[in-house]
Each structure stands twice: as structure tokens, then as C-alpha cells.
Amino acid sequence: MEDSIVYTRLKTQNSSPLDFMVKIEDELKLDFSDVLFKPRPSNLKSRAQVSLEVDFTFRNGVTIRGTPIISANMDTTGTFEVAQVLSQYKCFTACHKKYSVQDWKEFGADHPEVLPYVAVSAGVSDQEFDLVSQVVNMFSDVRLICLDVANGYSEAFCDVIRKYRKSFPEHGIIAGNVCTGEMTEQLLNAGADIIKIGIGPGSVCTTRIQTGVGAPQLSAVIECASMAHSLGGYVVSDGGCSVPGDVSKAFGAGADFVMIGGMFAGHDESGGETVVINGLTYKQFYGMSSSTAMKKYSGGVSEYRSSEGKTV
């Protein structure tokens, strides 16, 4: 069946109703829970023979090496404490953007061996740009910058990527989130090296419920990885992994990296308050667009928007 086109009416706040075209895609889309690997013969005698380390060379010539697992840049999982543990396995951590320059200075001085396995995170503000500038100038071993925004489908975000690309030509830039090949191409052309793929698949994300926006994660990774690889770029599957097999499926779909939040959230090194319920100990875990996060850092949810994350 060919894709069909549906016309509806969209009324904006300060204008009359507009014609709005919606494309309905009828082809099958898959999530991690929809697929399994079909086994095939192998020459390996044991899984212990497998090396998980990979070399990545970006289009600007920068090379990094490590195990392509990244702890998500939420303040409950993108912590320095998590980075210390994951770096022992040569995994990466996208440290959350709420750390100050002084926090980075103290951490880098105490744990220089961890720095090659962390990314410094930022959004679109000038203050965050200044923080990134100070951190990467302070520590040459920090080679990754993670640009994370609520809406990756924005020309303004592409402008931010261009700004970072021009200012940090010798760093790898992770940017997102998106879930389509077209926007993957735009972010790569703007100067990003690794595109974060995933709109709403995370366990504490309610973007799909609140906005109706998103795409089944496995199919999104397949589409975006194909586009990125044709342009010499990479993708990281961000969200939707609830069991180790989902991580394998993300790699099988073409992801170069897999970003994990919820599966790391309950450990001693993660952030979040510890609470005891009926004699059982739990750790608080929330999305960075949740009301919990916005109250913590911004004093509350802006009146023009609603929370797109939950707390567990």
C-alpha cells in the first residue's frame, strides 16, 4: 500500500486556521520487543573471545576508542561516579550539564584516567557554551561534546551545532534527538559526528503520550543509521533498552553506540534520592523534561508547556 496523504486544519495561537498536511506511513515499523535474532553458526569457542572495544574515526580526523555504551546525560545517570565505574570497562558517560566548571575542575584533577571516556553536555544557551569551552580547554583528554535539546527538529539547533563545530574542530560532537533519516542528514551536515536517535522511547519519557510524536525505536535506528553511514557519520540509539538483549538489538539494527538510562539508574553511583517503601529501597529516576527536573532546576514547568517526562 502506498503512503497516503491526509489534510487537516491547524489553528495557531496568533493566526487563522492553516492547511496542514500529514503523511500517513503504512509500512511496518518495529520496536525492540518485536524482533529476535535468528542464530547462525560461529567459529568462536566462547563469548570471552569477543572484544567489545571499537575504534571510531570522525570526519574531522578525531579518533576515539572504547566500548560503545554511553550512560545517558540525565542528572541521575550522567554522574561522575557512574563515569568512574564505566571507564574501567572503557564505556562512556555523557555527564549531565548541571555540573559547574569547579565540579569539572575537581573531578578532572582527581580522576584524569576517566576523562577520555566522558562527554561534556550542553544545550543551546550561551552559559552552557561557556562551560563547555572552559572544560575542554582545561582538559585535553575530554574529546566528546554532547548537545542535547528537547526538540532536535529545529533550524536553530542546527545553528548551535554549526557554532560548536566551528569552535571545537578537534572534538567529536554528539547531537539530538531525532528519529528520521532526513533530520539525521541535516544534523550531520551542520557538523555533528554522532546523532542521538530516539523520540520518546525512554522508560521515563512521556513525549509520545503528551505530543503524539515519535517512532518505533528499532526501525528509527535502521533508517537513521543507513543515512548516517552513507555520509560518514555515526548514530547512538538513545532509549528503549530495558533488558541487555535490547542493547544487542540496537547494535544489530545498525547503531554504533547505545545510550542507556534506566538500566543504570538503580545503582549506588547514580544520582537520585533513595527512598524506602515497604521495607524495599528504591532510587528516584526521572527524565530531564519531567516536572521533577524542571522544578529542581527552573523552579517549575513553564505555563506554555507540559511535562514530557515522569519520575519513578
Give me the active site residues, please.
Answer: 205, 207
Query: What's the chain look like in SS3?
Result: CCCEEEEEEECCCCCCCEEEEEEECCCCCCCHHHCCCCCCCCCCCCHHHCCCCEEEECCCCCEEEECCEEECCCCCCCCHHHHHHHHCCCCEEEECCCCCHHHHHHHHHHCHHHHHHEEEEECCCHHHHHHHHHHHHHCCCCCEEEEECCCCCCHHHHHHHHHHHHHCCCCEEEEEEECCHHHHHHHHHHCCCEEEECCCCCCCECHHHHHCCCCCHHHHHHHHHHHHHHCCCEEEEECCCCCHHHHHHHHHCCCCEEEECHHHCCCCCCCCCEEEECCEEEECCECCCEHHHHHHHHCCCCCCCCCCECEC
**Neighbour-count burial of 160, counting CB atoms closer than 10 A to its CB (0-12 exposed, 13-18 middle, 19+ buried):** buried
Q: How many CB atoms lie within 10 A of CB 219?
A: 19
Question: Residues 69, 91: contact at Cβ < 8 Å?
Answer: yes
